[in-house]
């Protein structure tokens, strides 16, 4: 066992229960960040939808046009 690991174990033994819980939360977050960094990007589902229901592939680029066509943002108060 490394010297740093032995020191860590010694320090953990001296912590209060509240401090142990805080340290445990931090250690779990470190472990999750390791898992995230090892995963491939983008996830497999990216690009799985080839065409939208309307058959177009440029919906995101044309979102403002689609919203305007439906009257989104117009003032109907008279």
Question: Which tens digit of pLDDT belongs to each residue from 2-34?
Answer: 999 999 999 999 999 999 999 998 888 887 666
Q: Which residue has the higher pLDDT, 73 or 19?
A: 19
The b/e string for 61-70 (b: 16+ C-beta within 10 A; e otherwise) is eeeeeeeeee
The CA distance from 33 to 11, in Å, is 24
Q: Say if CB 46 and CB 57 are below 8 A apart.
A: no
Q: Is the per-residue pLDDT at 56 higher than 90?
A: no
pLDDT in the model for residue 46: 74
Q: What Rg value do the Cα atoms of the chain yield, rounded?
A: 26
Taken in order 30, 35, 39, 43, the sign of the CA dihedral is negative
In the chain, the number of structural domains is 1
- Whether 74 maps to a domain, the answer reads no
Q: 25: domain range?
A: 3-69
The fraction of the chain above a pLDDT of 90, given in percent, is 26
The pLDDT-based confidence of 38 (bands split at 50, 70, 90) is low
- Whether 63 maps to a domain, the answer reads yes
């Amino acid at each position: 066992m490394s010297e740093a690991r032995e020191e860590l174990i010694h320090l953990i033994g001296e912590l209060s229960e509240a401090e142990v819980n805080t340290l445990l939360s931090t250690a779990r977050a470190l472990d999750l960040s390791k898992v995230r960094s090892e995963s491939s990007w983008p996830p497999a589902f990216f690009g799985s939808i080839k065409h939208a229901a309307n058959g177009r592939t440029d919906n995101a680029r044309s979102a403002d046009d689609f919203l305007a066509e439906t009257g989104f943002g117009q003032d109907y108060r008279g």
